[in-house]
Amino acid sequence: REMAFALHDAGFNVYDLNMRDLVKRPSILNSLRGIVFVGGFSYADALGAGTGWAASILSNPRLCEAFRNFRDREDTFSLGVCNGCQLMSKLGWVEGELVHNDSGRFESRYSTVRIGKTNSVLLRGMEGGVLGVWVAHGEGKFTGLKTADVPIYYTDNSGKRTSDYPLNPNGSERSAAAVCSADGRHLAMMPHPERCVLNWQNPYVPPRWSKNKYYPWRRLFVNAYEFCDGI
């Protein structure tokens, strides 16, 4: 519901699709401009984070092809958050792998991240921003990031990249909080921007933003809409 609100508030027509819908009719993907793989514990994470979800796609040739065609279309975007981030990694839409947090525990906290230079269509105009964001994951450590575009990374209180726990809640390589595809259209991130769209959803808002209704993460969803609208 948080993700649906963030997208609807930015102007999207939002459709809540279950995997059963897509298994029955893979062609649904042909009519969509964007896909958001939401956070949550898909398939109870019984096989590991995102594993069951990925298997439901990769084991179905028709559905796998439909997802591949969607990914390759130049007029589409995708966003994967938390469990959805893990799914995008397992599908090969972004570089890297997600493994257990270095702490060995589930991490639920409000972290600070910086948005770096990137060609991500969802992060246009957000470069240099240092923002608070909620995280809630047990397997959020990025590994295998050889040449990946890491557009969002964990920082310390001064906005500098950090590997120190708990500022970096999982121990990710390059302090990565997100990874973007080379073409900029597919973004996979562990933190939850949809939980930080409205100012009151954040435990701290800088005084200069306190009179605003929205927190800057809303820009991500507006960027997605403007990409689809051709702006």
| Residues forming the active site | 82, 192, 194
Q: Return the closest-CA partner of residue 53 out of 81, 25, 14.
A: 81
Which run of H or of E encompasses 90? helix 83-91
Q: Which residue has tokens 């589409």?
A: 76
Q: How far is the C-alpha of 35 from the C-alpha of 32, rounded, in Å?
A: 7
Which residues touch 49 (CB under 8 Å, ≥6 apart)?
A: 83, 86, 98, 137, 138, 139
Residues 112/154, Cβ–Cβ less than 8 Å:
yes
Distances (CA, A) of 71 to 18, 27, 141, 167: 18, 14, 24, 33
Tokens of 115: 């948005």
Q: How far is the C-alpha of 88 from the C-alpha of 50, rounded, in Å?
A: 9
Bridging pattern class, strands 178-180 and 77-81: unpaired
